[in-house]
Structure 1
Amino acid sequence: RGALVVLAVPDPVVADVAAKLEVRGALVHCSGSLGVEVLRGRAPSVGVMHPLVSFADPERPPSLRDATFVLDGDDEAVKRARKLARRLGARPVRAQVHGPAYHAAAALGANGAAALAAVAVRVLEAQGMTRRDAERAMGALLRTVGENVETVGVPTALSGPVIRGDAGTVRRHREALEALDPGARRAYDAVGPAILECAREAGLDPERAAEVARALTE
């Protein structure tokens, strides 16, 4: 009694594992794609405690300090989950958002950044930089992006030629990538409209935005 049981298992087996438990206190799962309903009836108080953290290597877990844990559920479960998150140095936030759309947002931010970093590393390698140096460079660059997103917010965190309305540089980027790595050029083109939309929200002049849009499709 008074305990918090944390169910950290793959999404497809959350319900099955919970059904095998006898919990007298509070029970929470860590799945971002599932709501609290999957645990209803399995404990006196149930909830969700999803860490917005990228777990890539089980042998080298990331720091949880200052990470956001998104909580939802019954008051008692949320209270205990909040206490645990704070003891881990994380920042607990209560919000009724868990589900496919919420999880997609997390995947887009984390997995999208990692995938684009892989493309960027490939381009740097093709120009003579060692893979490890390229990975460290991209990792450091992404940390500054994360700091900007956290401190100044979006779309203010956007930098680069698109937000400046520099269509000429965008054209040269695409030409260089097409010659060096057509796959990287396709990735550049795929993310370009999202960058341009962000730039427009940040106040990019409509005429310059139109020039950049043409540069992304010519």
Structure 2
Amino acid sequence: EAEEPLLTTLKEMASALDGTCVRLSADDKVLYHAAAVIACNYFVTLVKQSTDLWETFKVPSQQATKALLPLLRGTLNNIDNVGLPNCLTGPIARGDLGTIRKHLAALKRAAPQVLSIYRELGLQTIPIALAKGRIDEERANELRALLKEENL
């Protein structure tokens, strides 16, 4: 919302901090903040959900976090270096119904509180996999059906 000469100063500050300057309208600031919450705060929540799963097979949370950090860093590096959607890996990206079916069954048995998160994030990942070009619309529909199936 800043005007010149403050806008130039703010751009220079962002650049000096290796940041990215984005000019927003007052109305867009709320969505900008919501996007930051999803990317940052909910990222923490997802890591916590993951470490909680590790505790079901007797690995303490701190050890799980330490074990996951290289994978998390690799994912962030891929986002930075390869970009979206090409950085996407995993069973949705491959259209791997068998692995997803196993995940759903294991979560239902050991951590049913995580099942809805897994299903919803899987559904949200399908369009990214489609954009990457590794799956076609037919496989995307099969993935959607599997992730929506309540009997698993």
Instruction: Give TM class, smaller chain.
Output: 0.7 to 0.9
**Secondary structure of the corresponding residue to residue 99 of structure 2:** helix
TM-score, length-scaled by structure 2: 0.86
Q: 2:27 matched to 1:104?
A: no
The alignment's C-alpha RMSD in Å is 1.7
Q: Percent identity, please.
A: 29
Distance 2:15 2:84 in 1: 26
Q: Which residue of 1 aligns with 2:140?
A: 209
Structure 2 letter corresponding to 1:121: T
Q: CA deviation at 1:171?
A: 0.7
1:96-136 Cα offsets, whole Å, 9 max, x none, are 25511111111111122111111110001111212111112
Q: Residue 5 of structure 2 corresponds to which residue in structure 1?
A: 76
For 1:174, the equivalent position in structure 2 comes to: 104
Greater fraction strand: 1
CA distance, structure 2, for counterparts of residue 162 and residue 94 of structure 1: 32
Q: 1:183 is matched by which residue type in structure 2?
A: Q
Contact 2:54/2:64 (<8 A) preserved? yes
Do the aligned partners of 1:168 and 1:215 also contact (CA within 8 Å) in 2? no
User: What is the count of residue pairs matched by the alignment?
Assistant: 146
Between the two structures, name the one with larger relative contact order (CA 8 Å, sep ≥ 6): 2
> Residues 53-101 of structure 1: CA distance to partner in whole angstroms, max 9, x if unpaired?
xxxxxxxxxxxxxxxxxxxx212112222333344x3234242255111
Higher Cα Rg, which structure: 1
For 1:116, the equivalent position in structure 2 comes to 46
Which runs of structure 2 are paired with 1:1-218 in the superposition (5 Å)? 36=1, 73-87=2-16, 89-96=17-24, 98-203=28-133, 204-218=135-149
Could you tell me how far apart the structure 2 residues matched to 1:178 and 1:80 are? 53
Structure 2 letter corresponding to 1:93: C
C-alpha separation between the residues in 2 aligned to 1:205 and 1:135?
Answer: 34
Structure 2: where are the runs of 5+ without partners? none
Determine if contact 2:15/2:21 at 8 Å carries over to the other structure.
no
- TM-score norm. by structure 1 comes to 0.62
Q: Choose between structure 1 and 2: higher helix proportion.
A: 2
